[in-house]
Structure 1
Amino acid sequence: MKYTMALAALAAFTAFSPAQAEVTSKGDPAKAQQLVTSVCAACHGADGNSMAPANPSLAGQHAEYITKQLMNFKSGERKNAIMQGIVSSNNLTPDDMKNLGAYFAAQTPKPGSAKNKALALEGEKIFKGGNASSGVPACAACHGPTGAGIPVQFPRLASQHSEYILSQLNNFRTGERANDGGKMMRIIAAKLTDQEMKAVAEYISGLH
């Protein structure tokens, strides 16, 4: 049953949007250096390893995913007052966004560690096997068993701050975040309990 659910989830969610297809061309990490120093480093770290749990670490994230998020902030498809303001006030161009994606993708992520081991064990079960009774597919079906994700389609999650993961799951659940292809994360988040969200987020924070 778990295996079938994982395959079904993967088959249903592997299609990616036209916006994602537009960001597959390569950026130049060197050209992003000035922007990183002046704009990004304060929240995400110069090397993409954020020290603040509320701000996502970007080191090692897929370039296409980062670029797509920046494009979505600029278009308003993804809502966040701070990021929308940063993208707009600095007038980031499509090339800037591709360059930033390439820069952070090239950085080395620092391994995280789950703080609550018991909670992480609960999360591991959902991440690897889903919840058949509520129709929640295994997170690993799309994000990989180690949380590495799949370039273009699905983001890297490994070692991401648990607080950030939890906030995004809640945003998907409420619809505040709605830039997921085919509403896949909104559908999944709506089926997760508060406890399951916390457990999955904790487990992800310790993945390497």
Structure 2
Amino acid sequence: MKKLLTGLVLTFGLAGLAQAADPSAGEEIAQNQCVSCHGQNGVEPLQPNYARLAGLGEDYLFKQLRDIKSGDRNVAAMMGIVANLDKQDMRNLAAYFNEQEMPRGEADSEKVDAGKSLYRGGDLSRDVAACIACHGPKGLGNEPAGYPRLSGQSAEYVVKSLKDYRSGDRVYDEQSQIMGDIASKLTDNEMQAVAEYVEGLY
């Protein structure tokens, strides 16, 4: 019995080691697969409506890669890339991007007040929850809960994401349903205002 328990401890210990993320291995994948769209270190994407990946949160990034690979989240441009990644590759990639530093963005001064109001207070009259509840006062997200960092994210990408949530294109699980419900109540102008605010939020 003692030998059996020792064997189980060793087995589960080795399994745990196998799951540990390796950012350096993730960097190699990023340089070969991701840089052409998301830019060096995931900081400055080729197109402004592509995500800045730097510092978004390791668990969040891993979940997005996994969901895209499974087809739960539909991102056609990513399907060919994630198809060749196994779970360990995705963990490594998420760990690498999470270690990178998100650049400082700038908010549109004409829209920042409206964006701040929605971000920090929501709109109780329409049952619109405040962004701060999940993404934090500085937009740094909530890693244990899997909510991503928003601070510094490009406004164009945030607008695209909110529109995808509103249309239902990005609603497929409990967390995305929360965003779908919020986005369904926002106008295009409100989306733009919130997006501008979070790009410059620090």
Same structural fold, with TM-score higher than 0.5 when normalized by the shorter chain: yes
Q: SS state of the match for residue 124, structure 2?
A: coil
Tell me which of 104, 117, 120 is aligned to 1:125. 117
* Residue 159 of structure 1: aligned partner: 152
Deviation at 1:55, TM superposition (A): 1.1
RMSD across aligned positions (CA): 1.3
Deviation at 1:176, TM superposition (A): 0.5
Question: How far apart, in 1, do the equivalents of 2:191 and 2:44 lie?
Answer: 21
CA deviation map 1:139-179 (0-9, x unaligned): 00110011000004211110100000000000001101114
Give the unaligned 5+ runs of structure 1.
1-24
**Amino acid aligned to 2:24:** A
Tell me which of 92, 104, 112 is aligned to 1:111. 104
Deviation at 1:26, TM superposition (A): 4.1
Give the unaligned 5+ runs of structure 2.
1-18
Higher mean Cα deviation, 165-174 or 47-56? 47-56
Question: How far apart, in 1, do the equivalents of 2:148 and 2:100 lie?
Answer: 15
Superposition pairs of residues 29-40 of structure 1, within 5 angstroms: 29-40=23-34
Deviation at 1:108, TM superposition (A): 1.2
Higher mean Cα deviation, 53-62 or 92-101? 53-62
Q: SS state of the match for residue 41, structure 2?
A: coil
Q: Give TM-score, length-normalised by structure 2.
A: 0.86
**Amino acid aligned to 1:48:** G
**Between the two proteins, what is the percent identity of the paired residues?**
43
* Residue 141 of structure 2: aligned partner: 149
Higher mean Cα deviation, 150-159 or 176-185? 176-185
Tell me which of 61, 85, 88 is aligned to 1:95. 88
Question: How far apart, in 1, do the equivalents of 2:135 and 2:40 lie?
Answer: 25
Contact 1:53/1:164 (<8 A) preserved: yes
* Residue 176 of structure 1: aligned partner: 169
**Amino acid aligned to 1:68:** K
Q: How many residues align?
A: 181
Q: Give TM-score, length-normalised by structure 1.
A: 0.83
Question: How far apart, in 2, do the equivalents of 1:77 and 1:165 lie?
Answer: 20
* Residue 68 of structure 1: aligned partner: 63
Contact 1:161/1:205 (<8 A) preserved: yes
